[in-house]
Amino acid sequence: MPETEIDKKAHVEEHFLASDLIRDIVIGMSDGLTVPFALAAGLSGSVSNASLVVIAGVAEIAAGSIAMGLGGYLAARTDEEHYATELVREKREIVELPDRERQEVADILREWSLPESAIHETVDAMSKDPEKWVDFMMKYELGLEKPEPKRALTSSATIGGSYIVGGLIPLFPYMIISNANSALLLSVIMTLIALFIFGLVKGKFTGAKPFKSAFQTTLVGGLAAGIAFIIAKLIS
């Protein structure tokens, strides 16, 4: 029975295509919410003036966002360089070792339970198109996807910006309350709420159950912040 226009509209497959972006936001926000919180909370036990906590917190956020952004940039650049190196190697191998590369294609196709006749036809067709042949080997033999252009800069900016946004949340109470101990309670509440909302949004975008994601994010982030707070208190 032919598919009607209504069926086509109803059957819309929504695939999440921004996993790298969400990963970068998760990395930046998670650290931004926990590290500045731990620093501010640890200082709250040794100083009563909230302005000192704000100064230290802002300095940490600035340094942390730069460090995190640089780390994201270097990681993305490493991925790009690794892909480029493997691409050159694969291009050379299909020229110098075509029989071995054809066999590797056939082995991959056999894992998909294709009939031998289809495998031979596919291998023959692919070997006549070097570009598609190389792309196939990169993706299915090596498991490598071509990095997005300007990925390194985008990753750096996303992680660094997310760290700043996350870090300002636990620090905000110290900006409006002069007593550090009083600001600490509000900082704890705001950090936990932010973790919960962050988990909801992350679950929504990644396709996971939103409330399960929110609970896990709050639990893991809360534990990380608590452990960091204890360490900060012991040091101070």
Residue 64 in tokens: 């942390």
Q: How confident is the model at residue 232 (pLDDT cuts 50, 70, 90)?
A: low
Q: Of the ranges 37-51, 156-170, 179-193, 215-229, which is most confident?
A: 156-170
Q: CA angle, corner 118, sides to 112 and 123, nearest 5? A: 90
> Span 138-143, mean pLDDT?
84
Say what the pTM is: 0.75
How high is the pLDDT of residue 24? 87
The amino acid occupying position 28 is G
Confidence of residue 70 (pLDDT cuts 50, 70, 90): very high
Is the pLDDT at 151 greater than 60? The verdict is yes
Residue 143, phi-psi category: left (phi > 0), alpha (psi -120 to 50), beta (remainder): left
Taking the C-alpha atoms of residue 89 and residue 135, their distance in angstroms, rounded to an integer, is: 12
Average of per-residue pLDDT across 45-66 = 87
d(CA 146, CA 70): 21
What would the mean pLDDT of 55-74 be, rounded to a whole number?
92
Residue-wise pLDDT for 94-105, tens only, equals 888 888 888 888
Instruction: Please determine, for residue 73, whether its predicted confidence score (pLDDT) is greater than 50.
Output: yes
Q: By the 8 A CB rule, do 33 and 166 touch?
A: yes
The CA distance from 39 to 170, in Å, is 10
Assign 157 a pLDDT band (cuts: 50, 70, 90): very high
What number is the average pLDDT over the span 20-39?
84
- Enter the DSSP assignment of 138: I
- Is residue 225 pLDDT above 90, yes or no? no
Q: Residue ranges of the domains in the chain? A: 18-235
8 Å CB contact between 202 and 22: yes
Query: Which 3 state secondary structure label does DSSP give 179?
Result: strand
CA 160-29-40 angle, 5° bins: 95
